A and B are shown apart, each in its own frame.
Chain A
Amino acid sequence: MLGTLLRGVGIGKAFSRGIVRRRTRVVLEDVTLEIGEGRTLGLVGPSGSGKTTLARIVAGLETPTAGRVLYRGRDLRDLRGGERKAFRRRVQMIFQDPEGSLNPRKTIRRSLEEVLDLRGVRGEGRGEVREVLEVVGLEAEVLDRLPSQLSGGQNQRIALARALILEPEVLILDEPTSALDVSVQAQILHLLRDLQRERGIGYLLISHHPEVVGFLADEVAAIRGGRLVRLEGEVRGDLL
């Protein structure tokens, strides 16, 4: 069995409100999951069920109120300096709103080049921008455009390109195609599948659309009442 890249163990998240009368809402409870090399874990459930919260916790963008997230066996909270940077680089997230994840005032070229700078690549390394555009199926002419001038599908590819520049091991895909047209959805899904086959990236795929999950996932789980429920093979058809 290929390696486990990212694990969540006993994750819980509760939100509290109020000072005098404290009300607590438990969104996630005792969630344990694994993302393996080259494999996709699909996560389904209706809006508001906590899937996005879980995704953000696993991606290190939010801290859980209980449990831990382990990257290469190490608890995120114990990571410092260089290790923290490595985690940040290798675990990336793709958001639901493609245009929203790009700075509306930066050209595509700038948005891509700055990620290269982050990796420390300068000078001739800039050619990599064109390479990565090719990988995601875009022409060089988008480089001088702004996100508002591109379609949702194109912007989502740019978002993917930005993540790919960092050579991630794990991609957390939060409803990556929900904001896209149906025909474009098909293109993005095929792209994601090809990338996974070539590069062995592990995916956590979140979607409220069972067929989208079915297309890519090796295993599927659902969040019900804050808890993770594994769903077996054929039962997937009856997901919601």
Chain B
Amino acid sequence: MVIPGPFGRAGAVASPMRWIGVLLLTGFLAAAILAPVISPADPRARFEPYQPPSWSRPLGTNDMGNDLLSELLHGSRISIAVGFGAALLATLLGTMVGLVAGYYRGWADEVLMGLTDVVLMIPQIPLIITLAAFLRPGFWMIALLMGLLWWPSMARVVRSRAIQVREMSFVEAARCLGFPHRHIILTDVLPNTVHVILPKFMLTVASAMIAEASISFLGLVDPTARSWGTTISFAFARGGFINGYWWWYLPPGICITLFVLSLVLMSMDLEKEEVHTGMKG
């Protein structure tokens, strides 16, 4: 049913899902940024090891006596940075490739999609594990690696959307008026692809965090830096699981879960909004 009239965007309905996601995400980001300020102690300071939670040590201590709450807070910086870093790189690369391939079509599309297919064929986790095992890279290397492996899926998605948008009348009208391709891609095609990029970006952050946690858990990273995954890894290796020291391995696990949840909630909501304000083909 076509409801006519100059309605613009019909009354924005505040979605509870989105707000939960935003709240959680903001909370985590704030904690990460303020970690040095709000940590009860220096994560490297040693206290009595293997202590359960207490008033002074809210999350207890690990095998080396480090305050786990501080470790958690500082660890959030690494996990979140890696997650966003990898996703950012993948998004930048993927968007560029997708836009060029989708807008120009022809041989540019063929070549770029061929490249995309090749990269997609690479078995990602095994490669990361192998490289990590040999190189013992720092976290930034991990982020770089993930970004370089994950851009194709973003490229695919952006390309489909670009192809859709480029068929729309206003792109043709712009061509007719004589706008150069670059202008059209940046001001006409790209803004109309953002709604597709954003959810995918968030999900990529989520994937990156989980991947990082997995690699860290396997102990394949630089052990001096502590991310959430590394904490769990040490909990496992140093008797935390066996002895039931839940305050050691549960909090990081819960943090990862909640962070990923917040991203997923926000991205689901974004997709719904796009359908709602959907454009006429």
Interface residues of A (CB under 8 A from B): 59, 61, 85, 88-89, 92-93, 95, 97, 99-106, 114-115, 118, 146, 148-151, 159, 162-163, 166
B134 at the A interface (CB under 8 A): no
> Roughly how many angstroms separate A46 CA and B174 CA in the complex, as a whole number?
27
Q: CB distance A103 to B7 under 8 Å?
A: no
> Roughly how many angstroms separate A148 CA and B172 CA in the complex, as a whole number?
18
B179 at the A interface (CB under 8 A): yes
**In the complex, how many angstroms separate the beta carbon of A141 from the nearest chain B beta carbon?**
12
Contacts of A85 in B (CB 8 A): 178
**In the complex, how many angstroms separate the beta carbon of B266 from the nearest chain A beta carbon?**
21
Contacts of B179 in A (CB 8 A): 114, 118
> Roughly how many angstroms separate A93 CA and B175 CA in the complex, as a whole number?
10
Contacts of A97 in B (CB 8 A): 169, 280
Q: Report whether over half of chain B's contact residues are helix, strand or loop; otherwise say mixed.
A: helix
Q: CB distance A166 to B177 under 8 Å?
A: yes
> Roughly how many angstroms separate A85 CA and B170 CA in the complex, as a whole number?
19
Q: CB distance A92 to B176 under 8 Å?
A: yes
B-side interface size class: 20 to 34
A102-B173 contact given A148-B8, A149-B8, CB 8 Å threshold:
yes
Among the interface residues B6, B175, B177, B183, which one has the most CB atoms of the partner chain A within 10 A?
A: B177
A151 CB contact (under 8 Å) in B6, B8, B174, B177: B6
Contacts of B176 in A (CB 8 A): 59, 61, 88, 92-93
**In the complex, how many angstroms separate the beta carbon of B181 from the nearest chain A beta carbon?**
13
**In the complex, how many angstroms separate the beta carbon of A67 from the nearest chain B beta carbon?**
21
Contacts of B170 in A (CB 8 A): 100-104
> Roughly how many angstroms separate A163 CA and B191 CA in the complex, as a whole number?
23
Q: Which residue of A lies closest to B171 (CB)?
A: A103
Contacts of A114 in B (CB 8 A): 179, 183, 187
> Roughly how many angstroms separate A104 CA and B172 CA in the complex, as a whole number?
14
**In the complex, how many angstroms separate the beta carbon of A160 from the nearest chain B beta carbon?**
12
Contacts of A89 in B (CB 8 A): 178
Contacts of A149 in B (CB 8 A): 6-8
Contacts of B279 in A (CB 8 A): 104
> Roughly how many angstroms separate A61 CA and B169 CA in the complex, as a whole number?
12
Q: Which residue of A lies closest to B9 (CB)?
A: A148
Of residues 1 through 37 on chain B, the ones whose CB sits less than 8 Å from some CB of chain A are 6-8
B178 CB contact (under 8 Å) in A88, A101, A102, A146: A88
**In the complex, how many angstroms separate the beta carbon of B170 from the nearest chain A beta carbon?**
5
**In the complex, how many angstroms separate the beta carbon of A224 from the nearest chain B beta carbon?**
27
Q: CB distance A163 to B177 under 8 Å?
A: yes
A105-B6 contact given A114-B179, A115-B177, A118-B178, CB 8 Å threshold:
no
Extra contacts besides A88-B178, A97-B169, A99-B280 (11): CB < 8 Å: A85-B178, A100-B169, A102-B170, A102-B173, A103-B170, A103-B187, A103-B191, A118-B177, A118-B179, A162-B177, A163-B177
**In the complex, how many angstroms separate the beta carbon of A124 from the nearest chain B beta carbon?**
22
B188 at the A interface (CB under 8 A): yes
Contacts of A95 in B (CB 8 A): 169, 172-173
Q: Which 10 A-B pairs have the closest CB atoms?
A: A100-B169, A88-B178, A101-B173, A149-B6, A149-B8, A103-B170, A93-B176, A101-B169, A105-B191, A103-B188
Q: Which residue of A lies closest to B192 (CB)?
A: A105
> Roughly how many angstroms separate A162 CA and B178 CA in the complex, as a whole number?
11
B168 at the A interface (CB under 8 A): yes
> Roughly how many angstroms separate A76 CA and B177 CA in the complex, as a whole number?
16
> Roughly how many angstroms separate A100 CA and B192 CA in the complex, as a whole number?
14
Q: CB distance B173 to A61 under 8 Å?
A: no
> Roughly how many angstroms separate A93 CA and B168 CA in the complex, as a whole number?
15
> Roughly how many angstroms separate A201 CA and B188 CA in the complex, as a whole number?
29
